[in-house]
């Protein structure tokens, strides 16, 4: 959206579509009778008759009548008003966003009061309206030829509210920043692997750095060889595409200390290597860089909001291909940390590139780290496609993270990592570690392997194999890349910044 307008009077706004939230018993809303009079007092009758629905996310369209300042009306059911939360607001406005995209509307007006309750302010409505409308109306343009018809985008949003205009605008702008970053991450996940190579991902990161004033360093194959990054180099052996280690630094303070690291898996395509995936298992592997997309999206938000927290983002990017030079089961490789790894499964490559990436982040000053990756099918077996799996070694760090997760509505479930699990990861006749102890507990072993390179540093591992891509349309968007964890990663950094400031 290019313009946000605040109006206090319904009769002073102009828009193509007027959006009206309709909770159960709307007559109890302050100002409802006056608002209903705009419709010749018929609105309450329509609600009672069921022509206008109050059930959550039920939408009814209606053309304007008489001499109105809007062309069409869109009613969105809210259910019980007391049950509204930020997450439910986001879902409701996303449903509206999908409908507006079909209507090809370029301007809308929203009366904020029906969307509020004892816990939700008009500012909350503004931020969630921005997120929901942007996320719901997202569309990946793709590469089809044919129609030259241009999509109509939503340019102007008018909020009808008596609340402070500046606070409403700021809340809306923050929501829009969050949603736009998610949509950019979705674009990356949806891109085909012949177009989004590791070098192209590095080019995208360089654009972010230029936009936000980040320090950036991109390591290629030569630099990796000089440093001894044997894990990522092993994964890259079968490829004609050069690997890239992308490093973004956001310095919020004068001293480079108390740094949170965001580490993303950037496998631009995964064949499984010599542990070859089945034919159907390869389809969709363009999205194996969903962790990298999440980190880049979070950095986009961080660059806009400028929290008082130092951040280093490290993305290990390559594809995992087959050739005469590709690494193979039974190989032993030496990681950046110096630890040796027996390769039992070349399709367990994500944990290898993450091993070097978290080691690099640690050496570059990170004092805590969150790694995010489409790491295992095991997380889908355990939790389904709608939950992100997590491991951690630090209760306080994880509690801060979970507060952020609840705030953004991105469901995360923690799994245990026991000493017995660690023993199995460390079991090898020829090396310090093995990269694939077995199928049972697969998600735990995958994330736990990465934890072996973290040491005592507070650490959270996020497995988004189930949540980074949607097989069909969902509450917040269409089929394809979801941009999951973009909002949560940015929110946890902001929360950590606020905690640090409060403790000063």
Catalytic sites, residue numbers? 277, 351
Q: Helix, strand, or coil here: 317?
A: strand
Instruction: Identify the bridge partners of residue 59 per DSSP, sorted by sequence position.
Output: 76
438, 423 contact by CB (below 8 A) = no
Distance CA 111, CA 114 (A): 7
For 331-427, strand residue ranges (E) read 332-334, 340-342, 366-373, 388-392, 412-414
Tokens of 236: 């890259």
Tokens of 200: 């192209």
Q: Is 20 exposed, middle or buried (0-12, 13-18, 19+ CB in 10 A)?
A: buried
Query: What secondary structure does DSSP assign to 445-503, as a single string?
Result: HHHHHHHTTTTTS-EEEEE-TTTSEESS-BTTB-SEE--TTHHHHHHHHHHHHHHHHHH
463, 447 contact by CB (below 8 A) = yes
Instruction: Identify the bridge partners of residue 314 per DSSP, sorted by sequence position.
Output: 247, 263
For residue 377, the tally of other CB atoms under 10 A from its CB is 17
Distance CA 187, CA 297 (A): 10
48, 18 contact by CB (below 8 A) = no
Instruction: Identify the bridge partners of residue 156 per DSSP, sorted by sequence position.
Output: 3, 107
Report the phi/psi class of residue 273: left, alpha or beta, with left for phi > 0 and alpha for psi in -120 to 50.
left
480 Cα distance to chain centroid: 13
Distance CA 292, CA 300 (A): 12
Distances (CA, A) of 128 to 11, 123, 152, 210, 452: 24, 9, 22, 29, 39
Q: Helix, strand, or coil here: 326?
A: coil
CB half-sphere exposure, 346, CA atoms < 13 A: 25
């Amino acid at each position: 959206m290019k313009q946000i307008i605040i109006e206090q009077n319904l009769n002073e706004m102009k828009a193509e579509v007027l959006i009206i939230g309709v909770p159960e018993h709307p007559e109890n809303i302050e100002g409802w009778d006056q608002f209903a009079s705009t419709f010749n007092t018929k609105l309450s009758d329509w609600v009672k008759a069921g022509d206008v629905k109050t059930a959550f996310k039920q939408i009814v369209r209606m053309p304007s009548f008489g001499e109105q300042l809007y062309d069409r009306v869109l009613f969105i059911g809210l259910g019980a008003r007391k049950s509204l939360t930020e997450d439910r607001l986001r879902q409701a406005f996303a449903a509206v966003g999908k409908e507006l995209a079909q209507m090809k509307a370029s301007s809308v007006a929203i009366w904020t009061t029906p969307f509020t309750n004892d816990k939700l302010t008009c500012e909350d409505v503004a931020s969630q309206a921005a997120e929901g409308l942007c996320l719901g109306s997202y569309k990946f343009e793709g590469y089809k030829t044919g129609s030259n018809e241009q999509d109509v985008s939503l340019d102007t949003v008018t909020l009808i509210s008596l609340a402070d205009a500046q606070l409403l605008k700021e809340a809306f702008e923050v929501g829009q920043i969050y949603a736009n970053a998610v949509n950019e991450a979705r674009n990356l996940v949806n891109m085909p692997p012949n177009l989004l190579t590791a070098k192209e991902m590095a080019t995208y990161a360089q654009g972010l750095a230029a936009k936000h004033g980040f320090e950036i360093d991109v390591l290629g194959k030569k630099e990796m060889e000089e440093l001894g990054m044997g894990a990522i180099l092993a994964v890259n052996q079968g490829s004609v595409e050069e690997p890239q280690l992308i490093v973004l630094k956001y310095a919020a303070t004068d001293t480079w200390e108390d740094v949170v690291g965001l580490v993303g898996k950037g496998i631009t395509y995964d064949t499984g290597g010599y542990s070859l995936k089945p034919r159907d298992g390869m389809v969709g592997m363009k999205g194996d860089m969903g962790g990298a997309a999440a980190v880049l999206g979070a950095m986009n938000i961080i660059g806009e909001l400028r929290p008082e927290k130092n951040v280093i983002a490290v993305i290990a990017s390559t594809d995992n291909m087959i050739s005469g030079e590709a690494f193979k089961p039974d190989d032993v490789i030496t990681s950046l940390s110096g630890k040796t790894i027996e390769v039992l499964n070349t399709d367990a490559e994500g944990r290898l590139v993450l091993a070097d990436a978290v080691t690099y982040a640690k050496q570059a000053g990170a004092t805590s780290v969150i790694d995010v990756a489409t790491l295992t099918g095991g997380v889908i077996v355990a939790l389904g496609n709608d939950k992100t799996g997590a491991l951690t070694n630090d209760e306080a760090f994880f509690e801060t993270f979970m507060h952020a997760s609840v705030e953004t509505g991105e469901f995360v479930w923690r799994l245990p990592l026991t000493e017995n699990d660690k023993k199995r990861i460390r079991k090898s006749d020829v090396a310090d570690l093995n990269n694939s102890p077995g199928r049972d507990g697969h998600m735990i072993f995958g994330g736990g392997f990465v934890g072996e390179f973290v040491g005592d540093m507070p650490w959270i591992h996020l497995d988004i194999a189930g949540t980074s891509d949607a097989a069909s349309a969902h509450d917040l968007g269409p089929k394809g890349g979801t941009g999951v964890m973009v909002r949560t990663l940015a929110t946890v950094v902001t929360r950590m910044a606020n905690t640090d400031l409060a403790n000063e």
